[in-house]
Structure 1
Amino acid sequence: MRLMKFCCCLPLRVGVIITGCLFGTMDLVLGSIGFYMVIKNDFPQPVHKFFDKMDTRTCVACFSSVFYLMSMNDGMLIYGAVRRKAGYMGPWLIVNFLVLICTIVTALLSPVAIIRIALLIYSMLVVSSFFDELTEY
Structure 2
Amino acid sequence: MRLMKCCCCISLQFGTLMFGCLFGLVDFYLGSLGVYYVSIDEMPKKITVFFDKMDARLCVFWFAVIYYIIAFSDLLLIAGAMAKNPTCLGPWLIVNFIVLICTIATVLLSVLAVVRVGILLYAILVVNSFYDELTAGLFI
Q: CA deviation at 1:48?
A: 1.3
Q: What's the counterpart of residue 61 of structure 1?
A: 61
Q: What's the counterpart of residue 22 of structure 2?
A: 22
TM-score by length of structure 1 reads 0.97
Q: What's the counterpart of residue 104 of structure 1?
A: 104
Q: What's the counterpart of residue 70 of structure 2?
A: 70
TM-score by length of structure 2 reads 0.95
Give aligned-pair identity as a percent: 51
* Separation (CA, whole Å) in 2 of partners of 1:110 and 1:47: 15
Q: What's the counterpart of residue 93 of structure 1?
A: 93
Q: What's the counterpart of residue 37 of structure 2?
A: 37
* Separation (CA, whole Å) in 2 of partners of 1:42 and 1:17: 36
Equivalent pairs counted in the alignment come to: 137
* Separation (CA, whole Å) in 2 of partners of 1:75 and 1:82: 11
Q: CA deviation at 1:69?
A: 1.0
* Separation (CA, whole Å) in 1 of partners of 2:105 and 2:51: 16
Q: CA deviation at 1:49?
A: 2.0
Alpha-carbon displacement from aligned partner over 1:82-125 (angstroms, at most 9, x marks no partner): 11110111111010000001111111112111111111000000
- Are 1:79 and 2:118 an aligned pair? no
- Are 1:48 and 2:60 an aligned pair? no
Q: CA deviation at 1:43?
A: 1.3
Q: For structure 1, which runs of at least 5 residues remain unmatched after alignment?
A: none
* Separation (CA, whole Å) in 1 of partners of 2:41 and 2:109: 24
* Separation (CA, whole Å) in 2 of partners of 1:118 and 1:38: 31
Q: What's the counterpart of residue 121 of structure 1?
A: 121
| Aligned residue identity for 1:17 | L
The DSSP-based 3-state class of the residue aligned with 1:89 is helix
| Aligned residue identity for 1:31 | G
Alpha-carbon displacement from aligned partner over 1:54-101 (angstroms, at most 9, x marks no partner): 110000000001111111110000111111110111111010000001
* Separation (CA, whole Å) in 2 of partners of 1:23 and 1:78: 10
| Aligned residue identity for 1:54 | M
